[in-house]
Amino acid sequence: MTSWRAASGFCVFLLALMPSIARADASGQHYEKGLLVPSEKGLFTVEIVPSASGLVVGLNSFELILHDDAGREVPHAELTVVPLAPEGGKPAAAAPNVRERGGGLYSLEDVQLGQPGDWVLEIRIREGSRKDTVRLTLHRVGTGPPDRADIEETLASYDGHFTVGVWRGAFVPMHQIYGFRLSLKSRDGTPVTGAEFIIEGGMPAHGHGLISKPVVLPEQEPGLYRVQGFKFHMPGIWVIRFHIRDRETRDTLLVHLQVGNRAEANAGEIHTWTEDDVRILTSLWIESLPPPPPNPSNAQAGNPAAAALGKKLFFDPRFSGNLEVSCATCHRPDYGFTDSLPLAHGMGTTTRRTMPLIGMAYQTWFFWDGRKDSLWSQALGPLESPVEHGITRTFCFLKILEHYREEYEAVFGPIPEIDPDTCPPVARPSQDDAEAMAAWLGMPEENRDSINRVYANMGKAIEAYVRTIMPQPSRFDDYVRHLGKGDRKAMMDTLTAEEALGLRLFIGKGQCINCHNSPLFSNGEFHDTGLRNVDGNPEDPGRSAGIPAVLEDEFNCLGPYSDATPEECVELRFMDTATEKFTHAFKTVSLRNVALRPPYMHAGQFNTLGEVLSSYREIDRIFDAGEGYRPDIRHGRLTDEELGLIEGFLWTLNSPLEGL
């Protein structure tokens, strides 16, 4: 083997991905027949292994191994690749994707060489403070097979009227126009010319349909056709239906495409994790979730009788101004305890999206802005909101007397005796409703206190129920369980290679676990994601308004209706009150079942997960331009393909919900 060590700097191995070339193995042996090319400043060396069949016009792939001057492999370097066209030619339509594969090994994928000739591959390498550029000349691109077909299939149509040969590349890319060739023959083997095709397709696993309109064009040779115009936006199995008509004969052909299937060739490697990876994955595993912590401000939080009462209150529409709105109107059990609307709608329309109620027993702050510090105090807010339940605490007191007195007293003790005639149903302490405030102040102080206590206990019963709503193990959790047992086959049967790649990006390059960590995939805190007000609504300050609201809340942990001692209210006592730090910051929501509950974000700004992920990439651009945002929400300049892989992984977090 040619010696590769340079006098100083780094060594980079550039290797064409060809089946005939020996791959590096676990023993550390590398490739043969290398050609060394020095970098411009002499800090790097590139070893090229020529392809046996030549580089093709179209997509090509390479690999890089990066070493330092002592021969040690260097992970986590930043590589930028720019293909430069032959003189007078058009530049590449898109930059290649660079994927780190561990141990100093990098893949250069989707290197688009759009015409024959000598191309130059410019590789800019940065590792710490050391930078240099390697310029590689790729000779005689296009002199190998002009339309290399790595996969050839012979398929029969539904009713056997046609036999179809399909020639396509081994890698079916995402986010770019893709096509392949096919041959069409009749039952007796005669080539079929002049056939008409209608193409339909989708991704059964996720319900996605085609986002482009592919066509089938005849070629000169009888019976040969070229399919053009596919564009896929998610990795995984896609099923394509070709409805074929030839004169009087009609039939349908199914073609299965493994989009992003380069991952399948490296499945064993993809399902191999370092000790640090295993530690992170275990921290996300649902089995790592401890029992729900007690809530010192609610002595009945773990009482099954309180939870049974709370469940009835949760689903009872009599606690609303029109007798039609309950907690379950917006927190639908069939929709992950949220709803499908961008903005919540009860008696009217709010300015924010309904938050899901999954694993809320583990949370500290509630609502998008954290203006409540317990589930029970959170449950009270919507009741007196004119656009949600549209009622008052006195109305609630009267309904408890009328419908739930026995169950209430079994949990909380006797209800104070108050003459209903002296309890106006419209009374509440409100700065926005003079009539309600006057009615409230017109009541004796002890009656107001008793009504507040019954009202608070309603919230405590609802909390006891909501605390029981928990996610069950998902495919991701099964995967981590198999990982813990070292069962590689079960791991590969549980997550596809693409889903595992998405998981790898989620905990690595994408930096998603900066906010979406713990077994609930949420840190429960607040971040500015760059989203501002929705058209027609005033600008939402987010957490900066929630901080003073929770401090002033009469139903907070330090308030008179809390069961906690002041010493137990540690979260509220030590809360960061620097409101300017939290302007436009909103709470991080759990990603459990996230794929099943669009739309997304605090005001339902995005209809798909793909839109959400793309918005985070835009944050990287804004950050690079010096226009703001903290680095905790950066996401590693993800490519379209990488965003699709992460989206595919998020579907593995779906699971049934369990509750009382």
| Residues facing 196 on adjacent strands | 245
CA separation, residue 333 to residues 121, 140, 205, 394, 469 (Å): 54, 62, 23, 28, 10
CB within 8 Å of 233: residues ≥ 6 apart: 174, 175, 208, 211, 610, 640, 644
Across 570-595, average pLDDT? 94
Whether residue 146 is predicted with pLDDT greater than 50 in this model: the reply is no
Predicted confidence (pLDDT) per residue in 489-501, tens digit: 899 889 988 899 9
pLDDT at 122: 85
Whether residue 26 is predicted with pLDDT greater than 70 in this model: the reply is no
Q: Which residue has the higher pLDDT, 633 or 170?
A: 633
Quote the CA–CA distance of 282 and 280 in Å, as a whole number.
5
Give the three-class secondary structure for 36.
strand
CB within 8 Å of 27: residues ≥ 6 apart: none
Whether residue 506 is predicted with pLDDT greater than 90 in this model: the reply is yes
Whether residue 545 is predicted with pLDDT greater than 60 in this model: the reply is yes
Quote the CA–CA distance of 422 and 39 in Å, as a whole number.
88
Element (H, E) at 615: helix 609-624
Across 591-612, average pLDDT? 94
Quote the CA–CA distance of 348 and 338 in Å, as a whole number.
17
**Share above pLDDT 90 across residues of the chain, in percent, rounded to a whole number:** 55
pLDDT at 23: 31
Across 538-552, average pLDDT? 95
DSSP secondary structure, 521-582, as one string: T----EE--S--PPTTSPPP-BHHHHHHHHHH-TTSTTSTT--S-GGG-HHHHT----GGGG
CB within 8 Å of 274: residues ≥ 6 apart: 102
Predicted confidence (pLDDT) per residue in 103-142, tens digit: 566 677 777 777 777 788 888 888 888 888 887 777 656 5
How confident is the prediction for the chain on average, in pLDDT? 83
Q: Which residue has the higher pLDDT, 642 or 461?
A: 461
Sheet with 35-38, strands from edge to edge, namely 35-38, 45-49, 11-16, 58-67, 105-113, 97-102
Q: How confident is residue 483, by pLDDT bands cut at 50, 70 and 90?
A: very high
pLDDT at 298: 98
Q: Say which range, 266-275, 393-402, 409-418, 621-630, has the weakest mean pLDDT.
A: 621-630
Contact 403, 318 (CB under 8 A): yes
Whether residue 352 is predicted with pLDDT greater than 90 in this model: the reply is yes
Whether residue 34 is predicted with pLDDT greater than 50 in this model: the reply is no
Across 555-566, average pLDDT? 98
DSSP secondary structure, 281-350, as one string: HHHHSGGGPPPPPP-TT-TTTT-HHHHHHHHHHHT-TTSSTTS---HHHHSBGGGTTB-S-SS-BSSSB-
Q: How confident is residue 626, by pLDDT bands cut at 50, 70 and 90?
A: low
Distance of CA 219 to the CA centre of its chain: 42
DSSP secondary structure, 64-99, as one string: EEEE-TTS-B--S-EEEEEEEPSTTPPPPSSPPEEE
Whether residue 100 is predicted with pLDDT greater than 60 in this model: the reply is yes
Whether residue 360 is predicted with pLDDT greater than 50 in this model: the reply is yes
250-282 residues labelled b (16+ CB within 10 A) or e (exposed): ebebebebbbbbbbeeebeebbebeeebeebbe
Contact 64, 106 (CB under 8 A): yes
Quote the CA–CA distance of 285 and 139 in Å, as a whole number.
50
pLDDT at 142: 56
Give me 465's structure tokens: 């129920």
CA separation, residue 135 to residues 45, 140, 377 (Å): 10, 16, 63
Whether residue 236 is predicted with pLDDT greater than 80 in this model: the reply is no
Q: Which residue has the higher pLDDT, 353 or 219?
A: 353
pLDDT at 28: 30
Predicted confidence (pLDDT) per residue in 291-302, tens digit: 999 999 999 999
CB within 8 Å of 505: residues ≥ 6 apart: 512, 638, 642, 645, 646, 649
CB within 8 Å of 546: residues ≥ 6 apart: 365, 367, 368, 369, 370, 371, 582
**Structure letter (DSSP) for residue 415:** P
Give me 164's structure tokens: 């179809």
Whether residue 84 is predicted with pLDDT greater than 90 in this model: the reply is no
Q: Across 161-175, 251-265, 514-528, which has the greatest mean pLDDT? A: 514-528
CB within 8 Å of 200: residues ≥ 6 apart: 210, 240, 241, 243
Q: How many CA atoms lie within 13 A of 351 on its CB side?
A: 15
pLDDT at 627: 57
pLDDT at 448: 96
Whether residue 548 is predicted with pLDDT greater than 50 in this model: the reply is yes
Whether residue 64 is predicted with pLDDT greater than 50 in this model: the reply is yes
Contact 48, 169 (CB under 8 A): no
Whether residue 269 is predicted with pLDDT greater than 90 in this model: the reply is no
The candidate with the shortest Cα–Cα distance to 199, out of 211, 186, 189, 183, is: 211
Across 394-407, average pLDDT? 97
Q: Is the dihedral of CA 122, 127, 128, 130 positive or negative?
A: negative
| Residues facing 81 on adjacent strands | 123
Across 569-587, average pLDDT? 94
pLDDT at 265: 41
CB within 8 Å of 56: residues ≥ 6 apart: 113, 141, 142, 144, 145, 146, 147, 148
Across 598-614, average pLDDT? 93
The candidate with the shortest Cα–Cα distance to 104, out of 131, 71, 137, is: 71
Q: Say which range, 36-45, 122-131, 187-196, 447-456, has the weakest mean pLDDT.
A: 36-45
Q: How confident is residue 641, by pLDDT bands cut at 50, 70 and 90?
A: confident
CB within 8 Å of 9: residues ≥ 6 apart: 39, 41, 42, 43, 44, 45, 68, 69, 130, 132
**Share above pLDDT 70 across residues of the chain, in percent, rounded to a whole number:** 80
**What's the alpha-carbon Rg for the chain, to the nearest Å?**
31
Q: Which residue has the higher pLDDT, 625 or 591?
A: 591
Quote the CA–CA distance of 106 and 484 in Å, as a whole number.
27
Q: How many CA atoms lie within 13 A of 611 on its CB side?
A: 10
Q: Which residue has the higher pLDDT, 539 or 619?
A: 539
Quote the CA–CA distance of 156 and 169 in Å, as a whole number.
20
Element (H, E) at 375: helix 375-380
Whether residue 611 is predicted with pLDDT greater than 80 in this model: the reply is yes
Element (H, E) at 445: helix 445-466
